Amino acid sequence: MLVTLKSILNMAEEKEYAIGAFNAPNLESLLAVVQAAEDLKLPVIIQHAQAHEDLIPLSVIGPIMLRTAEQASVPVCVHLDHGSSLEVISQSLSLGFTSVMYDGSALPYEENLRNTLIAVEMASETGASVEAELGVIGKKETGLEDIPEDGETAHIYTDPDQAKVFVRETGIDALACAFGTVHGIYSRKPKLRFEIVEGVRKAAGNIPVVMHGGSGLSRDEYRQAIRAGVRKINYFTYMNKTGGEACIDYINQSSDHSAPIFFTQLSIKAKNAMNEHIKQIMKIFALLD
């Protein structure tokens, strides 16, 4: 069933766990995520990142995401991830997305605030939820960029006092915070500052905090983040990597190396591998493992 981000985060708040938010830049990823949620009977968030427009346009994958969510047996939020353009925010809402993220974190604070207010006003017309971001999280959600050797320089950490004002003035439903995670593959152990999450929650009226760059952490790190107040965890890179590795394994294990390899075979292998991986991750987020 199709639901808003606000309603799905209320479920997370009530049970004091986190909801997985998974990017779906192709049909295999989308089906793997929703099937995992249905298998576990857990709510889930499916996302289209603006940065993935070169993989598949929002105009193509958006309606498919919405139809899949509507037919699902569990609550599913359809969310725009890292929307840095108000035009893309508008497009998502017109398609029927139930949540959007306006990402103005790289802009000056006042400009981020102004644009977030516009996004909130736009979303209010359709009843959709809004996520925004304060602070700068290392790397982009494509996961392909390098980060500096000094992990500290990859971030501008979220200021809880600034978050208090930002949340109060914008009325957003969730806040993405920079507290030490990065998008993509970790080349070194991250320095996670859970006290930032706790500070934002305390200052900003227990606003649900979103963890971006959620792939690649340990079970204990996820649990610490959830205890601190993280209620949405974005996850894609290691799910995507799992699908790729399944394809490589299938090719390498083929007994007849002269036989053709069909994309449809690889597609099924990738989807099934991602599905199993996602289920393991969702169990951790929901405190079931």
Annotated catalytic residue: which of 81, 103, 159, 173?
81
Grouping H, G, I as helix, E, B as strand and the rest as coil, residue 17 is: coil
Confidence of residue 152 (pLDDT cuts 50, 70, 90): very low
pLDDT at site 144: 36
Tokens representing 89 are 């925010």
Question: What type of residue is 144?
Answer: L
Confidence of residue 185 (pLDDT cuts 50, 70, 90): low
pLDDT tens digits, one per residue of 168-184: 999 999 999 999 887 66
pLDDT at site 189: 64
Q: CB neighbours (10 Å) of residue 44?
A: 24
Confidence of residue 150 (pLDDT cuts 50, 70, 90): very low
Which of 78, 82, 107 has the alpha carbon at shortest distance from 93?
Answer: 78
- Asked if the model's pLDDT at residue 143 lies above 60, the reply is no
Confidence of residue 188 (pLDDT cuts 50, 70, 90): low
Query: Is 81 annotated in the active site?
Result: yes
Range in 5-19, 23-37, 202-216 with the lowest mean pLDDT: 202-216
Residue ranges and CATH numbers for the domains of the chain are: 2-244+274-285 (3.20.20.70)
Q: Which residues are bridge partners to 19 per DSSP?
A: 232
End-to-end CA distance of the chain: 25
Most confident of 7-11, 132-136, 253-257: 7-11
Q: Residues 223-235: what's their mean pLDDT? A: 97
Q: What does the alpha-carbon distance between residue 119 and residue 172 come to, in Å, rounded to a whole number?
A: 9
**Nearest-10 crossing angle of helices 219-228, 263-285:** 50
Residue with tokens 């899949």: 68
Q: What does the alpha-carbon distance between residue 99 and residue 77 come to, in Å, rounded to a whole number?
A: 7
pLDDT at site 187: 52
Mean pLDDT of the chain: 91
Higher per-residue pLDDT: 210 or 139? 210
Tokens representing 263 are 């994309």
